[in-house]
Structure 1
Amino acid sequence: MSTTLALARDTSALEQRIALIACGQRPGKTQPCDSCRRKGAGLLTIASTGAADAVAAAICGTGRGPACHDCKDKAAEIVRVFNEEAE
């Protein structure tokens, strides 16, 4: 298997995990909604910058800050997960 294919699979898995966090985690929930799934790539890109406030604004959907408390918490978790995967 090529490294490019492995990287694409890893990125896809991380994108799905980030989308699920943005959608809201709860016991038994394994997939994000379609809207959050579509946001996954963008959230991954924003998370790579470490800008939790920008991630929160993207999740909240207002396009500008400040984001709500729940979205700020989700954004902090997304940035943490991204940083863990980058190590």
Structure 2
Amino acid sequence: MSPTVAVAPDTTALQLLISLIACGQRPGKTQPCDSCRRKGTGLLNIASTGAADAVAAAICGTGKAPACRDCKVKALEIVRVYNEGAE
């Protein structure tokens, strides 16, 4: 019997999408700003834990809770997208 190998999600594409969500999505926008792009790895790592409050705080820039409402909404979307990408 051969061992089963888990396939990791395409972290580059997922990180870019997470960065774009954090930056703010709108029609025609395809790339995050440089600041949000730099946060991408950290947001991806935090999203992997499922901690939406921590993701929101990282997006908001305070580094601690509570984050603003907009960042909380973005964080929930990021965790949802991460979970779909990891399936």
Q: TM-score normalised to the size of structure 2? A: 0.89
CA distance in structure 2 between the partners assigned to 1:81 and 1:7 by the alignment: 14
Structure 1: gaps spanning 5 or more residues: 1-5
Number of corresponding residues: 81
Q: Which protein is richer in helix relative to its size?
A: 1
Aligned-partner Cα distance in 2 for 1:52–1:46: 8
The ranges of structure 1 where at least 4 consecutive aligned residues each deviate by more than 3 angstroms after the TM superposition are none
**Which structure has the larger Rg?**
2
SS in 1 for 2:64: coil
Residues 14-73 of structure 1, C-alpha deviation per residue, up to 9 Å, x if partnerless?
A: 000000000000000000000000000000000000000000000000111100000000
Q: What is aligned with 2:4? A: none
Query: Which of structures 1 and 2 has the larger relative contact order (alpha carbons within 8 angstroms, sep 6+)?
Result: 2
5+ residue gaps, structure 2, are 1-6
Identity %: 79
Whole-angstrom distance in 2 between the partners of 1:45 and 1:7: 13
TM-score after normalising by structure 1:
0.89
Q: Which residue is 1:50 aligned to?
A: 50
Amino acid paired to 2:67: A
